[in-house]
Amino acid sequence: MHAPAIQRDTLLRLYREMVRLRVLDERMMTLQRQGRVGFYGACTGQEAATLASAIVLEPSDWIFPALRESGAMPLRGFPMVPYLCQVFGNSGDETKGRQMPSHMASRSVNQVSWGSCIGTQLPQAVGAAMAAKIKGDRTVIAAYLGDGATSEGDFHVAMNFAGVFKAPVVFICQNNHWAISVPTSKQTASESIAIKAQAYGFPGVKVDGNDAVAVYEAVRAAVDRARSGGGPSLVECETYRIGAHSSSDDPTRYRDEREVEAWRKRDPIEILRGRLNAMGIWSALDEDALRARLLSEVNAAIAEAEQKPDPPRESLFDDVYSTLPWTLREQREEMMAAPTVPRPDAKTIAGK
């Protein structure tokens, strides 16, 4: 085990953030099963690829995420309550309850709202990177994608444009082996995803996406290259989606549980904890205290977020026109005149 090019304090912070994301995902999946939220997409098994890459970025850098990168927001300082309010779609959500759950975004931490249409964020990320280059600032853009996105035309458009114009963008592919129910073997005949970068004239590297230090070092090198004017890179993080694609998915219908169990033995949190233990900077007592504290914090944030009221109905008509046309004014007046139907509170739902 080589000495990581990462400071001890950063390593400890990264571990705590990975455990927090795991605790949060476990709680939110439970809430979804209880009917208290409608949808959730967990990051379980992919915490290293998500957080060890994001921790490399500077506050002024931007993230264009896919489904499993929302955990970068708390890592970068976004408060937990409004983060959870996005899942509830209530008035505490900065995006006013308009996005599908698990599509968190905030300008305060430079994280763009993503769309469920796969790969569309990639040309957008390259556009943002070109804007930074034209302005002459030092911003780097992190463009995340899954293995399934490499089958989309947007992936190739983004890679080609970035390569030609040397955009300061780092493509970070979380190859978790499954694009919902489609395995990577049905996505590409290439020996890897990383090798695809060669066709577009820039480096591609494949790393163990469950080794947080390996992810950190690879993304650190790519970000430094982009920031110094060297152009784009593609980092393929080979990882595994331990759980379902989302709360709407049943993976037992298409994959072998023996494969899942094999990857459970490569849990990124266990791998990093083993490294910390070997370095003598973590103990069982530290672990117990951390998990107890995080569970308490997450439960408190859920309790607060769940009590927020719905967004006001009239906000449905905001933020599209500076002056509403008469057709929408009439619709708003008609809606406001209609009686409201109160939704059941959290305790009623949980008690069903």
Q: Which helix (H) or strand (E) holds 236?
A: strand 233-238
Closest to 170 in 3D by CA, of 17, 57, 69, 51: 57
Q: How far apart are CA 180 and CA 251, in angstroms?
A: 8
The CA-to-CA distance between both ends of the chain, in Å, stands at 51
Instruction: State both tokens at 141.
Output: 């853009």
Count the alpha carbons within 13 Å of 49 in the hemisphere toward its beta carbon: 32
Alpha carbon of residue 269 to chain centroid: 17
Q: Which helix (H) or strand (E) holds 91?
A: none
Closest to 175 in 3D by CA, of 197, 151, 152, 148: 148
CB-count exposure of residue 59 (10 Å: 0-12, 13-18, 19+): exposed
Q: How far apart are CA 5 and CA 2, in angstroms?
A: 9
Q: How far apart are CA 107 and CA 123, in angstroms?
A: 19
Q: How far apart are CA 14 and CA 282, in angstroms?
A: 13
Closest to 173 in 3D by CA, of 140, 202, 139, 209: 209
Q: How far apart are CA 61 and CA 142, in angstroms?
A: 8
Q: Are 70 and 102 in contact (CB under 8 A)?
A: yes
Q: How far is residue 89 from each of residues 74, 80, 96, measured CA to CA in Å?
A: 18, 14, 7
Instruction: State both tokens at 149.
Output: 């996105």
Q: Which active-site residues does the annotation give?
A: 241, 245, 254
